[in-house]
Amino acid sequence: MKRETSPDGLGGARQPDGLSGEILVRQAAMNDIGLIQNMARIIWADTYAGYISQEEQTRVLAHSYSSESLMKSVNENVFLLAEVSGEAAGYIDMGRQDEVLHLHRLYVMPNFQRIGLGRRLLEEAIALAKKLSTGSFPGNDTNASPKVVVATVEEGNLKARRFYKKMGFTEEGSTTMTVQGVELPLVFIVMRLF
Ligand SMILES: CC(C)(COP(=O)(O)OP(=O)(O)OC[C@H]1O[C@@H](n2cnc3c(N)ncnc32)[C@H](O)[C@@H]1OP(=O)(O)O)[C@@H](O)C(=O)NCCC(=O)NCCS
């Protein structure tokens, strides 16, 4: 489904970042799928080096970032891309089910980390998800505002765990998921919205 951009900074507003470029946050489109797959490969290699082998990353990415899976996400979820001076810098994919926002993916390119993009993508995705009419998300049958954001983070991904803690998430349990034969120990994280 195609959504109109909101007037509060999405889809066109530009503002200076902490370095020298300009940040643009916009909605992802079908023709961004190759770009997203390329970013995912680079960010995964950097983030999971040391504990998910390259071969395992390739296997999981082929599954979780297949064009089909991304098309579905771009169509059904809040899926935003960040660009810095025209260069692809990160993305967020957030779905909604009733009063729960599901943060599926939040990834910032290594050379653009720690300049506020992760925070901005998260805040804009939540703001947009709150404004969307309830019928916009398949499976969302309530008029109530979302009350909580939930996600999982790789147990060994301490960088992301620190980021999420700073953003106001709390860690509430753990699990292990097996994707394409690769065991991923995960921590559940939750942020309550007020
Ligand atoms: C985790 C990630 C999304 C954070 O994005 P980012 O753009 O680097 O983070 P920001 O610059 O917006 O930082 C926001 C806040 O978190 C804090 N933070 C970010 N990374 C941190 C780190 N490695 N250690 C401690 N604090 C950190 C920042 O200090 C900042 O706080 P402040 O605003 O009070 O200064 C990014 O590092 C990333 O994409 N990592 C690789 C992929 C990944 O792990 N994704 C999550 C998968 S579940």
Distance (angstroms) between ligand 1 centre and the Cα of 98 equals 28
The tens digit of pLDDT for each residue in 65-75 reads 999 999 999 99
Q: What's residue 155's pLDDT?
A: 95
Long-range contacts from 60-63, C-beta under 8 angstroms, 24+ separation: 60/179, 60/180, 60/182, 60/184, 61/37, 62/180, 63/179, 63/180
Residue 45 pLDDT greater than 50, yes or no: yes
Per-residue pLDDT tens digits for 46-83: 999 988 999 999 999 999 999 999 999 999 999 999 99
Q: Determine if ligand 1 sits within 6 Å of the CB of residue 114.
A: yes
Maximum Cα interatomic distance, the chain, rounded to a whole number of Å: 45
Domains of the chain: 14-138 (3.40.630.30)
CA distance 141 to 138: 8
* pLDDT value for 54: 94
For residue 10, the model assigns a pLDDT of 37
pTM: 0.89
pLDDT at 151 over 50: yes
Residue 165 CB less than 6 A away from ligand 1: no
> Is the pLDDT score of 92 beyond 70?
yes
- Decide: 115 in ligand 1 pocket, CB within 6 A: yes
Of how many residues is the chain composed?
194
